[in-house]
Structure 1
Amino acid sequence: MTQRHVLIVSPHFPPINAPDHQRVRMSLPYFAKCGWRATVLAVSPEYVEGKQDSMLLRTVPTTTRVIRTRALPAKRTRRLGVGNLGLRALPFLSRAGDRALSSEHFDLVFFSTTAFPVMVLGRRWLKRWRVPYVLDFQDPWLSDYHYQRTGSPPGGRFRYGLTQNLARWLEHYTLKRASHIISVSPAYPKTLQQRYQWLSADQFTVLPFGVAENDFELVKSLDVRQRVFDPQDGKRHWVYVGAGGAAMTTSIKPFFAALRKVRSNGGRQFDNLVVHFVGTDYAAGDRARETFKPLAAECGVADVVEEIPNRIPYLESLKCLIDAEALVVPGSDDPGYTASKIYPYIMANKPMLAIFHEDSSVVDVLRATKAGTLVTFKTKADFAGMAREIETNWFKSEFQQPPGIDRKALEPYLARELTRRQCAIFDRAINKGAFNLSFKDSR
């Protein structure tokens, strides 16, 4: 059987350590079995702001063809207030895509990235090469979250307003001709259908990132070591690896409050506890800032909290989960937030405290897999009740043994199954694209 060919646009691609290439990275080993082969269009790592992780390349099949492009240097464009990789790389990705599409046959273009501006190339390539495209919404492109929740959007109101106005126009333009939209959260399709009445439910599929079992096997086979803590030093190490920020305040402060109360009531078993928060800021180098440690200080437990805001290598982060005594996973106060990191946490099979908004899709996953202790909330007003629940169900419970995870319930979230579903979407998209290509695309 002749394999179909997909051009995957993933500007942040290994060796860059970034969350938005995880779907692509985990799918690549399984495409061939689903009747597809992939060519990846990415930006050369020297033009990408972010930590490089050479070991991530070990997770990419050697047969995968990767086309690398340039981008405008961030040091120069930031003087003009532009740091977004999508904008910096757009003309280079456009030319590289033109060359690829003109020289060989592709059945589909798949945009899987949070560098949203590059998605506009789907319209260009559809018109010029008659190749349909599928979009992967891992985050909202257009969002009023910072206005509603924080009142102080990043970069200031004026700059943020300009960015959102551009996003509003580009999102409409790009979605208009998309063959299908994949979303990590069930909240995004609802929002987009409310915003654009011409979108229908059958144009969306909710598909989480899931987890690649191969990653855990690679940690073992490569004898990966983590440098965050010494698991043999006699201390109790609890770990969270992932993003922080103001959105996590509602979930993490009740944990700190419960910890303070337990310690003040004579909980001596927690005197040797260290709670590690790792990779909490997406900003690189010196621009990374602590977000959990200051909250711990407010609650009087800063002495047992250590935070490393810079990202660490991906396989090393998995090793942190494996080496930890227990895992603590705070969730966002945004009900549409889907924590893709939850699946490796479940796979690590450790005692786990997860604190999430009741309407987050993560809650259903945790309940189905029976992974750890789950505490949910609706608003900040739930603070006192959350703290009591954490104190009772976590600090005062016997959680030393790994949870009895329902492996069958985890199967739908494994990379091989999610890739199968992803390729089924690709198949439908090109069939739909062939049917719809009789229209004349206009700008």
Structure 2
Amino acid sequence: MKKILIITPHYPPSNLAAVHRSRLFAQHLPAFGWEPIILTVHEDFYEEELDWNLHKLLPAGQRIEKVRAYPVTRPRLIGDIGLRAFFQLRKKALALVQKEKIAFVYIPIPSFYVSLIGPYLQRKTGVRYGIDYIDPWVHVFPGSDRVFSRHWFSTKLAKWLEPKAVKSASLITGVAEGYYKGVLDRNPHLQRCVTGAMPYGGEAADHSGLKQLQLKPYLFEANSKLQFVYAGAMLPKAYGPLEEIFKAIAAHRDLFEQVAFHFIGTGKTPNDPQGYNIKALAEHYGLWQTVVFEYPKRIPYLDVLIHLEAADAVFILGSTEPHYTPSKTYQGVLSKKPILAVLHSASTAVAVLEQSRAGVVLAFDGAAAVSAISHGFVEQFTRFQLFRNAFKPEEVDQQTFAQYSAKEVTRTLASLLDKAMA
């Protein structure tokens, strides 16, 4: 067994979505010859609510090392836990590499600043390291063009720090190739290092564990309406397609009178129950609390799965970018619900959904074709109703999704790690 140190400031019982990346990698890496050691921050220093049910899903005996962090000040000057625990993580990581004969250090980002520990360890010990892009680091946010604004500073800092972090990396990975392609373009020397894309993997065992915990849905109750669930954060460039969908629903109210779309965990911040992102748009089209319902606060992962299973169908919304991956549809398949999706036509999820008979897709050709969504949505929704009436979960081609299981995704990571070590 080769030892791999995974530095991830958030880990269960944190309820942040990114923890599943490290959790599922660590769960399956031993099957491919890698023994994980998790280096994280103690949960006492997390700002988000804790999810101890998620903690119960961790493998027995998994080695987890925890450090302290500087507390959040009031007023809140520094919230990023990667900054608050940077020196503690760096010190502990160095000690582990020197003592444990660590073969590789793997750093999922964000927190982006933690990636700077990689080159530090490489200089001190010669250990190889890799960075996994769960989100792009150098990113132009709305408002980044306003000089001296918060987003302007963030973009400038990212452009300055990222080259330092990746300078001596042996491996660059990401949820999709588009997440790290810009890194390779900005740092031509990285063409020599190993790269690879791995989507989030679905874990069937997470669904089977729900019965043991006896959890119940609490955001909505079963009724005569056709209830859709969209679970997860809103993609920054998904609001245009969403508005076209609301426009279509508002123009055909009679067709959607017995339909409810529940948006769960779509708020501006994880813990704010009033941080609505969709409410104003729904109100504008007169759909709020009749067809459209939003629960902004992020709820625990297993609670999300319970609500997916309580729903009649799963709603998936991509954006004007083609990065939406089939793995994100896998939760809908595992919940045994039919899927209605609106996706960029270049997304690989389009073909997978249709070929597997898991759902119905409205595909559009990027930002230039957003306006066409309002015309096509009603037609695809009508098609979906017919599809749902004949839907049988056992007839979904599970083999189509095999490559998106957490174990197969981890197999890809292990292969990349072996190449990076060669």
Q: Same fold (TM over 0.5)?
A: yes
**What's the CA shift for 1:39?**
0.8
One-letter code aligned to 1:217: S
The equivalent of 1:315 in structure 2 is 302
One-letter code aligned to 1:134: G
Give the Cα–Cα distance (whole angstroms) in 2 for the partners of residues 113 and 298 of structure 1. 36
Change (3 A) 1:338 1:140: farther
Q: Is the 8 A contact 2:86 2:114 kept in 1?
A: yes
Q: Is the 8 A contact 2:345 2:366 kept in 1?
A: no
**What's the CA shift for 1:49?**
2.2
The equivalent of 1:418 in structure 2 is 409
The equivalent of 1:211 in structure 2 is 202
User: Is residue 299 from structure 1 mapped to residue 285 from structure 2 by the alignment?
Assistant: yes
The equivalent of 2:334 in structure 1 is 347
Count of aligned pairs: 417
Which range moved further: 415-424 or 193-202?
Answer: 193-202
**What's the CA shift for 1:361?**
4.0
User: Is residue 273 from structure 1 mapped to residue 273 from structure 2 by the alignment?
Assistant: no
User: Is residue 124 from structure 1 mapped to residue 125 from structure 2 by the alignment?
Assistant: no
TM-score (norm 2): 0.92
> What does residue range 144-159 of structure 1 map to in structure 2 within 5 Å?
144=140, 146=141, 150=142, 152-153=143-144, 158-159=149-150
**What's the CA shift for 1:278?**
0.6
RMSD: 2.3
Determine which of 189, 192, 195 is the counterpart of 2:186. Answer: 195
Q: Is the 8 A contact 2:13 2:50 kept in 1?
A: yes
Structure 1: 5+ residue runs without aligned partners?
A: 432-443
Which range moved further: 209-218 or 416-425?
Answer: 416-425
Change (3 A) 1:93 1:288: farther
Determine which of 234, 238, 247 is the counterpart of 2:237. Answer: 247
Per-residue CA distance 1:364-415 (angstroms, 9 max, x = gap): 4434434311112234553442122210121354132436432111010111
Report percent identity of matched pairs. 29
**What's the CA shift for 1:160?**
1.7
**What's the CA shift for 1:167?**
1.3
Change (3 A) 1:353 1:220: same
Where 1:97 maps in the other structure, the secondary structure is: helix
The equivalent of 1:437 in structure 2 is none
Q: Is the 8 A contact 1:71 1:88 kept in 2?
A: yes
Give the Cα–Cα distance (whole angstroms) in 1 for the partners of residues 397 and 145 of structure 2. 40
Per-residue CA distance 1:310-365 (angstroms, 9 max, x = gap): 01110110111111111111112333455853321232231211112223343344
Q: Is the 8 A contact 2:226 2:260 kept in 1?
A: yes
The equivalent of 1:67 in structure 2 is 65
Give the Cα–Cα distance (whole angstroms) in 2 for the partners of residues 162 and 295 of structure 1. 30
Give the Cα–Cα distance (whole angstroms) in 2 for the partners of residues 365 and 159 of structure 1. 39
Give the Cα–Cα distance (whole angstroms) in 1 for the partners of residues 298 and 68 of structure 2. 24
Per-residue CA distance 1:190-217 (angstroms, 9 max, x = gap): 3222222222276210111120111111
> What does residue range 5-16 of structure 1 map to in structure 2 within 5 Å?
5-16=3-14
**What's the CA shift for 1:77?**
7.2
**What's the CA shift for 1:157?**
5.3
TM-score (norm 1): 0.87
> What does residue range 329-368 of structure 1 map to in structure 2 within 5 Å?
329-336=316-323, 338=325, 341-368=328-355
Change (3 A) 1:6 1:84: same
User: Is residue 428 from structure 1 mapped to residue 419 from structure 2 by the alignment?
Assistant: yes
The runs of at least 4 aligned residues of structure 1 exceeding 4 Å deviation read 153-157, 337-340
